[in-house]
DNA sequence: CAAACAACCTTTTTT
DNA sequence: AGGTTGTTTG
């Protein structure tokens, strides 16, 4: 490879020196398949960004490099870092998520497999809404009269079947056998869901991947074009890909086999959405001649933390053998903290955080992690009481909140007048209009084959419909900017917001943020696609991103959302057997393995301080049991590695010397 | 008969 | 806090 002289060549060479041997080998790898097993904190991101910079420096056109990551943010950050390593050429590197890349390719080439050019993307809650409509109709048919699963469960079931590439029937029998007696109804709803997606030109998240795979597999000219255009493919978090994504990569790399995948099988935590960590275990078999490089030196955590995490992950059944080591000497051992109940746990965490802050730790260097979004509710109250500002990551997506979806629905019917789902939403917002009326109005619109004009032609039923008509008369997608359209919609929607939500002032602020985002777009269609695919951060989240970067706020996060991040001190709360691992995982060995990996991810986020907390004496109503053991993943660990303490009545810690019986 | 309202229940994780 | 279910209202 003959690198063109670069003003920063010296800097780049110096940066290369800072890598360890394994990292450098990965960065300098020439062509052909490469698998990098990157343990937690082993400099995975550094390795990827250095390799991107090196490929560009070696004269590969930046646009021919495809960097697939798990979130858009991760891709952008890596590209930014590559720019800092090399120069602005790295800006043109193609980066994104599997879903966004599939979307881009389908917009360009989807016609080849008969995909209509104006397809709209259904996000998860759109999909659930559509399934909900079908479910409601199915309920009325006497043959299906028995209780059907909730729409959420249905969406989950369908998605799993698709992502695992297996018939619905098998998936139901395996994962929800208690619905087996309603199999016919489930199949009928599934088929109807697929039919309506076609009818309304809808594509859901899973379809993006499935259709992209089909495009690559069935249209050789398109595959050759795409594969030829992206000659170097780099994939982050490969352990979290599912079967379809793995197939897509096989097809993309078909022409050149320049595929680098990076991941850690021990951190695979997305099986619930079809990810299969066997992809990473089997990668060398799928690509004979694969070079395998292991990154085992940990640059993040102190030795006592690493000793514990190594011991925990050693219990995993199936994995690439690896043992992380560090050169960082010293450090205090992690602490297992037992509190009487949830509130005692919260109060102790708040006290300890206060001490850390008083000792000079930046708030943004402290994180509290938990299994599920609602686990932090009590802590949030205590933090507010103590006036410690925090941001919460994970849990439910802001852009999926009702008021944002309401506003967007008005814009979506402009872009696609036959979007039944959005019409339904728009119409049922009106007073005295429920599902039945909405449905008959929608039919009128479709029959008139005139979209919005069809609505305008309807006889006025009441004032509400008059107002809606006035709105649509004022909207002209051809003549108005995206933000102006949004402005009109929000003006119209505010009264509805006020009567629908008690907390409307907060929600009104979100709508203003939404408007700010709209200003960045020229085409309504691309704004809507982005909102469904990679919702721009807004509201709380937008502030959150700025604040995370400013490192000035305590972070509360689900473990899933914490993946890839690190903090000086980490608290894992609710490390209680029955919560983490969750009770529902107990029956299934694979799910338990995933819970174990999730605990591993949580613990390996810590650089210096790690506190594993659990309340004992928690009564679980569904089981009628008292949960009082620490998570089985950290139970029965030598006290020397994980000292155990109990919080007393004054919130002080008392060391527990002996392992109590029971 | 359809819509609005009130009372429950049940809550994993997310592109 | 949300969705689902059952009940009341228009």
Report the nearest residue to nucleotide C1, CA vs C1'.
A374
- Nearest to residue A308, comparing CAs of A325, A333, A331? A333
CA angle A193, A199, A204 (to 5 degrees): 50
Q: How far is the CA of A416 from the C1' of B5 (A)?
A: 33
More confident site: A391 or A365: A365
How high is the pLDDT of residue A433?
Answer: 85
pLDDT bracket for residue A13 (50, 70, 90): low
* A530: annotated active-site residue: no
In tens, the pLDDT along A138-176 reads 777 655 546 778 888 889 889 989 988 888 888 888 877
Residue % of chain A over a pLDDT of 90? 41
Structure tokens at A532: 């469904």
> Half-sphere exposure of residue A483, counting CA atoms within 13 Å on the CB side?
11
Q: Give the range among A242-256, A538-552, A594-608 with minimum mean pLDDT.
A: A538-552
- Nearest to residue A192, comparing CAs of A144, A122, A118, A130? A130
Element (H, E) at A570: strand A567-572
- Nearest to residue A236, comparing CAs of A72, A395, A399? A72
DSSP 8-state secondary structure symbol assigned to residue A32? S
pLDDT bracket for residue A658 (50, 70, 90): low
In tens, the pLDDT along A97-116 reads 999 999 999 999 999 999 99
Facing residues of A390 across strands?
A554
SS3 (DSSP) at A429:
coil
* A553: annotated active-site residue: no
SS3 (DSSP) at A325:
strand
* A605: annotated active-site residue: yes
Q: How far is the CA of A403 from the C1' of B5 (A)?
A: 21
Mean pLDDT of chain A: 85
Q: How far is the CA of A420 from the C1' of B12 (A)?
A: 31
Given a cut of 80, whether residue A470 has pLDDT beyond it is yes
- Nearest to residue A372, comparing CAs of A305, A278, A272? A272
Question: How large is the average pLDDT for residues A32-38?
Answer: 95
Q: E-strand spans in A494-582?
A: 554-558, 567-572
Q: How far is the CA of A579 from the C1' of B6 (A)?
A: 31
Compute the CA torsion angle A351, A357, A361, A363 (nearest 10 deg).
Answer: 90
CB under 8 Å to A464, separation ≥6 — which residues? A430, A431, A432, A433
Strand B CB shell (< 7 Å):
A 70-71, 97-100, 123-124, 159, 205, 269-270, 272-273, 371-374, 394-397, 428, 431-438, 533-534, 558, 560-561, 582, 584-585, 591, 622
What is the maximum alpha-carbon separation in chain A? Answer: 80
Question: How large is the average pLDDT for residues A366-382?
Answer: 90
Pairing assessment for the beta strands A291-295 and A259-263 based on DSSP bridges = unpaired
* A237: annotated active-site residue: yes
A299, A43 Cβ separation under 8 angstroms: yes
Structure tokens at A519: 């200003």
* A236: annotated active-site residue: yes
- Nearest to residue A405, comparing CAs of A500, A306, A290, A284? A500
DSSP 8-state secondary structure symbol assigned to residue A582? B
- How far apart, in Å, do the first and last CA atoms of chain A sit? 65
A396: phi then psi, degrees, rounded to nearest 5: -85, 145
pLDDT bracket for residue A230 (50, 70, 90): very high
Q: Give the range among A73-77, A95-99, A302-306, A358-362 with minimum mean pLDDT.
A: A73-77
Whole-angstrom distance, CA of residue A202 vs CA of residue A133: 15
Given a cut of 80, whether residue A638 has pLDDT beyond it is yes
Question: How large is the average pLDDT for residues A353-365?
Answer: 93
* A44: annotated active-site residue: yes
């Amino acid at each position: 490879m003959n690198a063109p002289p670069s003003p920063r060549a010296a800097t780049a060479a110096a940066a290369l020196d800072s890598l360890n041997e394994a990292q450098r080998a990965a960065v300098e790898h020439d062509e052909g398949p490469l698998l990098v097993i990157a343990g937690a904190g082993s400099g995975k991101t550094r390795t990827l960004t250095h390799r991107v910079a090196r490929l560009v420096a070696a004269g590969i056109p930046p646009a021919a490099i495809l960097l697939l990551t798990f979130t858009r943010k991760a891709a952008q950050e890596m590209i930014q870092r590559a720019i800092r390593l090399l120069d602005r050429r790295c800006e043109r590197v193609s980066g994104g998520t599997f879903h966004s890349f599939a979307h881009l390719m389908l917009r360009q080439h989807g016609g080849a497999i008969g995909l209509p050019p104006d397809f709209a993307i259904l996000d998860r809650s759109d999909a659930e809404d559509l399934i909900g409509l079908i479910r409601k109709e199915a309920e009325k048919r006497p043959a299906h009269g028995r209780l059907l699963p909730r729409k959420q469960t249905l969406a989950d079931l369908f998605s799993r079947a698709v992502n695992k590439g297996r018939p619905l029937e098998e998936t139901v029998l395996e994962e929800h056998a208690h619905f087996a007696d309603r199999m016919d109804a489930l199949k009928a709803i599934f088929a109807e869901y697929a039919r309506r997606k076609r009818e309304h030109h809808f594509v859901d998240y899973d379809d993006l991947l499935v259709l992209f795979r089909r495009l690559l597999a069935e249209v050789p000219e398109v595959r050759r074009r795409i594969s030829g255009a992206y000659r170097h493919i780099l994939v982050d978090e490969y352990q979290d890909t599912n079967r379809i994504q793995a197939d897509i990569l096989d097809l993309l790399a078909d022409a050149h086999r320049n595929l680098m995948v990076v991941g850690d099988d021990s951190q695979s935590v997305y099986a619930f959405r079809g990810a299969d960590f066997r992809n990473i275990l089997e990668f060398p078999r799928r690509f004979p001649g694969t070079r395998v490089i292991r990154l085992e030196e940990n640059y993040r955590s102190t030795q006592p933390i690493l000793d514990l995490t190594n011991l925990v992950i050693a219990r995993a059944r199936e994995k690439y053998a690896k043992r992380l080591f560090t050169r960082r000497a010293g450090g205090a051992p992690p602490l297992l903290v037992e509190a009487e109940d949830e509130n005692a746990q919260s109060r102790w965490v708040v006290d300890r955080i206060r001490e850390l802050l008083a000792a000079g730790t930046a708030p943004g260097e402290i994180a509290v992690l938990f299994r599920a979004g609602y686990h932090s509710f009590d802590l949030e109250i205590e933090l507010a009481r103590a006036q410690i500002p925090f941001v919460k990551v994970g849990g439910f997506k802001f852009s999926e909140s009702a008021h944002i979806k309401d506003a967007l629905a008005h814009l979506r019917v402009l872009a696609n007048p036959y979007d039944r789902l959005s019409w339904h939403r728009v119409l049922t917002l009106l007073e005295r209009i429920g599902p039945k009326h909405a449905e008959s109005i929608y039919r009128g619109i479709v029959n008139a084959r005139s979209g919005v004009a069809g609505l305008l032609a309807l006889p006025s039923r009441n004032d509400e419909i008059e107002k809606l008509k006035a709105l649509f008369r004022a909207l002209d997608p051809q003549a108005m900017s995206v933000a102006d359209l949004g402005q009109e919609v929000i003006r119209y929607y505010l009264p509805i917001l006020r009567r629908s939500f008690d907390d409307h002032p907060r929600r009104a602020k979100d709508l203003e943020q939404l408007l700010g985002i709209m200003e960045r777009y020229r085409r309504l269609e691309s704004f809507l696609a982005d909102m469904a695919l990679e919702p721009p951060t807004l509201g709380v989240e937008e502030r959150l991103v700025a604040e995370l970067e400013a490192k000035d706020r305590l972070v509360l996060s689900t473990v899933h959302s914490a993946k890839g991040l690190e903090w000086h001190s980490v608290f894992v709360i609710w490390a209680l057997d029955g919560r983490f691992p969750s009770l529902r995982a107990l029956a299934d060995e694979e799910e338990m393995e995933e819970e174990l990996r999730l605990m591993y991810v949580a613990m390996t986020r810590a650089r210096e301080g790690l506190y594993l907390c659990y309340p004992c004496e928690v009564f679980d109503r569904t089981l009628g049991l008292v949960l009082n053991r620490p998570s089985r993943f950290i139970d029965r660990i030598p006290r020397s590695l994980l000292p155990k303490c109990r919080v007393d009545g004054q919130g002080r810690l008392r060391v527990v010397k002996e392992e109590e019986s029971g």
